[in-house]
Amino acid sequence: MTTTERTTLVLGGTGRVGRRVTRRLIERGVNVRVGSRTGEPPFDWENPSTWADAFAGVRSAYLMYYPEVEWPGAGDAIGAVARLAVDAGVDRLVLLSARNQDEAVRCEDAVTSLPIEWTIVAPASFNQNFDEGVFLEPLRHGVLALPAGDNADPFVDADDIADVVVAALTEKGHVGERYELTGPRLWTFAEGVAEIARATGRELRYEPITRERFADSIVDDGAPREFAEPLATLISEFFDGRNSSLADGVERALNRKPRDFADWVAEIAPTGVWDAAR
């Protein structure tokens, strides 16, 4: 069977990793269906009535959970969608998981327990959190304040993640594998922010704060408390030191080294994305 005879569903196909996966699959000649609330047919994690139509005629799928795989209840939702995929005739699933998170483990178990070809992709924190995600606006204002202490993390490029996902969806040799993806070295947030400051010529700093203060700041910005508190817990747990280690998933999956955070910063800085807020 050629790739053009398969339909691959990419959940979150307009997101940071999903849109990169979608672009790469299209370049390979894969028939791609974007799974999003604006997709055709639509897929909405908050509306289970949309799930079945999204999987109709699909042979392989990339699963990611919104807002995060570590979010309370993600395991139940991923399990329900994965079972639906099997019933719909999907024969391969690639799950975007996370490192050392209890809810992520439940998501993985929900997929690996099914009679289907599966691959687990468990990355560290994305580089793109700094230029596309929740870290961007604070950096534009000069201070990134997080409940992350002084622990180090091996930030990984979303392009490396997408390359691994696409390989797992389209190539042989990845079935039954669990790939932990990290960059090539550890960075504290203070070091990461300092690297961005050097590349941009701006005065930037990182400030470690409590989980409670972070949640309050999110609420002050307009988010509901029921979103802010789980987000604060998620960040404080993810960066509590449990992920302060390197892994070889990129090398094992792609036979090359992952991209370094400093190289990524050097490429992104000239775009002006970190210019001061006006």
Q: Per-block average pLDDT, block size 10, for the chain (278 residues)?
A: 69 96 97 95 96 96 94 95 97 96 96 97 96 93 94 97 98 97 98 98 96 90 88 89 96 98 98 92
* Residue partners of 255: CB distance under 8 A and separation at least 6: none
**pLDDT confidence of residue 278:** 72
192, 193, 197, 202: CA torsion to nearest 10? 170
CA distance 102 to 99: 9
The pLDDT of residue 205 is: 97
- In the CATH hierarchy, which fold is given to the domain comprising 3-123? Rossmann fold (3.40.50)
What pLDDT does residue 48 have? 96
Please report the pLDDT score of residue 5 as a whole number.
Answer: 61
By the 8 A CB rule, do 244 and 151 touch?
yes
Question: What letter represents residue 212's amino acid?
Answer: E
pTM of the model: 0.94
Question: Does the domain spanning 128-155+184-244+259-278 belong to CATH 3.90.25.10?
Answer: yes
Q: Residue 246: its pLDDT value, please?
A: 98
What is the C-alpha radius of gyration for the chain, rounded to an integer number of angstroms? 19
- The domains of the chain are located at 3-123, 128-155+184-244+259-278
Give the Cα separation of 22 and 16 in Å (integer): 11
